[in-house]
Structures are given as structure tokens and as C-alpha cells.
Amino acid sequence: MKKLLSILSILLLSACSTYEGSFSIISKDNVNLSSLNIENSPIKRNVTGKDSVFYFLGLPFSQEYLPTLQNAIDNGLDKGNGDAFLNAEVEFSGWSIILFGANTITIKGDVIKTQK
């Protein structure tokens, strides 16, 4: 009986996380790198942006079926009041508990304001 409960627990409760990579600079708009002056631009450290989609019976609670990196970047840049991430790390994670679940894309890094 314990073995059956263990197997059911593994099948019904699950989570996964993958490291998608690190980026020197990532932005949603074009950034003129030749005029980028990091020393004189305002930087907000350790900003996190996320985009999540929750599911019930495999159907999403939003119009998008999967979270997007673009929405995670937008969320983080809004929080940091900037227009580019420096030294950013991107992670994808998901979990499910029987009928419910969620997928999330997270971006963490420093946000810089390059445009006035």
C-alpha cells in the first residue's frame, strides 16, 4: 500500500525547473550600444521579472497557453524603471498538483535606464 501511495504521489505531484541561460544584456527594444554609458546611467540592482500561466484540467487561465520571455522582461523593466537588463539570468519552472498547475518564466538581473 505504501508503495502504491508513493507512486501516486510522484505521478500526481510534480515540479520542474530549468536554467535557460545568462545574458550580458537583454532588452525589449533596440539599444544603441555605441552610445551606452553604463557608468553614468541609473542602475537598479537585483530586479526580478516574471510571467506565469496557471492551469486547471490542462486549460490555461489566460489567453496565452505558455508564459513568454517578452512578458517577463516587460514586467522586470517596469519594476526597475529601465529599458534593458544587464547580467540577466532566465529560468523556466513549472509545477502541478493533480488538477492544478502553473508554468513561470523568471528573469533576474540589473536594470539600466539607457534612454532619457
Q: Where are the domains of the chain?
A: 14-112
pLDDT tier, 9 (very low <50, low <70, confident <90, very high otherwise): low
In 3-state terms the chain splits into helix, strand, coil percentages (rounded to 5) of 25, 50, 25
All three cell numbers of 16, joined, read: 520542474
All three cell numbers of 48, joined, read: 526580478
CA-CA distance, 110 to 84, in Å (whole number)? 8
CB 55 within 8 A of CB 14: no
pLDDT tier, 67 (very low <50, low <70, confident <90, very high otherwise): very high
Helix (H, G, I), strand (E, B) or coil at 116: coil
- Nearest CA among 105, 103, 92, 108 for reference residue 23: 108
pTM value?
0.82
pLDDT tens per residue across span 90-101 = 999 998 887 889
> Ranked by mean pLDDT, which of 28-37, 40-49, 51-60 comes out on top?
40-49
